[in-house]
A and B are shown apart, each in its own frame.
Chain A
Amino acid sequence: MSTGRPILEVENLKRYFDQSTSILDTLLRRDRERIQAVDDVSFALHENESVGIIGESGCGKSTLLETLIGLQTPTDGRIRYRDQDLAEFDRSEWKQYRGDVQIIFQDPFNTLNPKMTIRESLEEQLGIHDMGKEDERIHEILREVELHPPEKYLDRVPDQLSGGELQRVAIARALIVEPKILLADEPVSMLDVSTQASVLTMLADLREKRDLSLIYISHDLSTVSHVCDTINVMYLGRIVERSETRELLENPKHPYSQALIQAIPSHSLDHDRERTKIEGSPRDPIDIGEGCRFRDRCPERMDVCEKTPHLIESEGHEVACHLYYDHEEYEGGTDEVAQEMTGEV
């Protein structure tokens, strides 16, 4: 799996947004409130690896993706592509990067130009990235995304295709420029289950065949687990747990990951599930300051949770939770805390 230097590396990435302020706020010199959409996120993507990022709506996963592709400027932190910082890119390097890194969006109905035929959409993409517009290339890619026969689709406009077919075209358009990294933002959440499965399977096959690295973002753990090697769990702008997929599903460590997995309804007959014990909903990530962000809903809450936990190694997982801290080692914490720990773990 992961060997050598990562192809994409994210280091302490932050993306804050300013709340809109009224003239009164300005006159009174009130401090601007900051929405901490992505706060101190680090991870690495290696070649041929597929990394999943899951979390509820509002956890910052889409902002993270937009920052990776350069649609948002990081407030702080670094993104490195093949050891080169995105912040230092010049024009041509950006162009190269945007060819190498392609994105598939959630809503296939609005990502394609409604007035362009499928052929025109694909040719436009090739034109932008200075690649030849040979028919062979276009036919080939449509066959790869299982739109048979290509001739049937080439001269149609998006209106004439179903949701599943449109998402295949969107994937074809991303792959036709031979990217190294594919970013997928909830690519199947708007599709019906019957089509969802086929797009998921196809995505997994294509990744293998084309040596792609994939970052897959979703709120739906059950689809992520079919595509990704590792999963990052995000909560209110921070990654709270990271682990190999199966390990995370079977043995989640962070109380939030546990709650998230436990809350998914099951349709296997022998699975008897209890309802979630988590109350309330995530708060707004506005100036939330220190401390674990899940602490107000966490069933395991302790005093020490007022301090921000960092990701630490624990039995093959990386988890940001005080339950797994040896506080003396990491924080030089008090005996009291250490005692509490031994009781809990």
Chain B
Amino acid sequence: MSQPVLEVSDLTIQYSTDGGSVTAVSDASFTIDEGEYFGLVGESGCGKSTVARAVIGGLDDNGQIKSGTIRVNGEEIQDYTTEEMNERVRWKDISFIPQSSMNNLDPLLRIEKQAQKLADIHADMPPEEASERLAEMFEIVGLSEARISEYPHQFSGGMQQRAVIALALFLDPDLIVADEPTTALDVIMQDQMFKYLDKVREELDTSMMLITHDVSLIYENCDKLAIMHSGQVAEYGYTDTVLAEPRHPYSIQLKQAFPDVHNPDKDLATVKGSPPKTMGEVDYCTFVDRCPWATEDCSEHAPSQQEIGDGSLHTAACFRLDEVYRDRYDGEPALQDQQNQGSDL
């Protein structure tokens, strides 16, 4: 396999605040391969947006990468300055779709002009070529080519969102980082947007990192996922495998907590308590206070990723995987899981 588009290894990020340094992300690792759609899911405050910001080099001033590496196409970028990021990475290698993308277009510039500016700064592309590329991307996201010369206010909210996707795509990046791209949208609009992203996927081999709190979006749209809890990656692997039979206590409960419109009688589980404040060095499992399986060990050491050994790259960070598995699945692997393994390999 060719080298991964994005490789995050043992990433630890801290924010310095008045009350001391808060560890937003601790020892997070994952990789995204070419053309792969990767989902990062977790509750608010779990550090998923911080990871995204680190990847595009956009951490807040008080945020700092303490250790670990971020490799984009093999090259370490975590120590890049803003200028280096602009010159080498942003837009060309990695582009970004923010949460309320309607507010991320310059209201005073025609979309075409915005594209030409980006093309000039990041890719030395002549304006004519930029317009041409943008028109192509407009076509893909279902906007008429003729509209590239309009101002953002002439577009509806959904169309602005698509224009942002077109801009994110038009310099042909290897990876798009999308931070809750549809949270502000209603379900029908959300589905429309993913319909266009499906098309993007068909026609280009761009990879995507989708950050969301909604497991079902990841289930439908991503090949691989990482579930985060308070800065730690709890579980990681191929979507089908992980969601068919989650192994980490947090993933198990999270899956149970989701109301399902197609199953209104489902008993909803609750993940007790709330995520801890992670101050300073995190040398414990951040889920320990909420976990029914927790032992003393869990509050004394941070668990590392354990291979599940189901044949895929499924891992979970938990000391008591075997006990959890026995209690949860009664020793018998679900049929579903075995079927999915077959399709994943």
Contact = CB atoms under 8 A, between A and B. Distances in A.
A191 to B, nearest CB: 9
Contacts of B180: none
Main secondary structure of the interface of B (DSSP, over half): helix
A275 B198 contact: yes
B199 to A, nearest CB: 10
A249 interface: yes
Contacts of A266: 216, 219-220, 260-262
A197 B269 contact: yes
Interface size class of A (residues with CB under 8 A): 35 or more
B254 A265 contact: no
Contact of B270 (A197, A260, A263, A281): A197
Given A222-B260, A249-B262, A263 B188 contact: yes
A278 interface: yes
A57 B262 contact: no
B192 A200 contact: no
B259 A268 contact: no
A221 B264 CA distance: 10
Contacts of A278: 188, 192
B219 A201 contact: no
A194 B271 contact: yes
B191 interface: yes
A58 B188 CA distance: 14
Which one of A164, A260, A268 has the highest number of Cβ atoms from chain B below 10 Å of its Cβ? A268
A265 B216 CA distance: 6
A168 to B, nearest CB: 12
B190 interface: yes
A267 B187 CA distance: 15
A196 B259 contact: yes
Contact of B191 (A162, A193, A275): A275
Given A260-B188, A275-B198, A280-B158, A267 B261 contact: no
Contacts, number: 120
A286 interface: no
Contacts of B217: 265
A162 to B, nearest CB: 5
Interface string A81-124: 00000000000000000000000000000000000000000000
Nearest to B195: A275
A264 interface: yes
Given A193-B213, A265-B217, A225 B188 contact: no
A260 B260 contact: no
Which one of B190, B217, B263 has the highest number of Cβ atoms from chain A below 10 Å of its Cβ? B263
A219 interface: yes
Nearest to A58: B186
Given A219-B186, A245-B264, A280-B158, A225 B257 contact: no
Which one of B188, B191, B244 has the highest number of Cβ atoms from chain A below 10 Å of its Cβ? B188
A267 B216 contact: yes
Nearest to B215: A267
A280 B214 CA distance: 23
B258 interface: yes
Interface string B174-207: 0000000000001111111011001000000000
Given A200-B268, A266-B261, 11 more contacts: A56-B189, A194-B43, A200-B259, A226-B268, A246-B264, A263-B187, A263-B188, A266-B262, A269-B243, A269-B244, A276-B191
Interface of B: 43-44, 156-158, 186-192, 194-195, 198, 213-217, 219-220, 240, 243-244, 253-264, 268-271, 274, 336
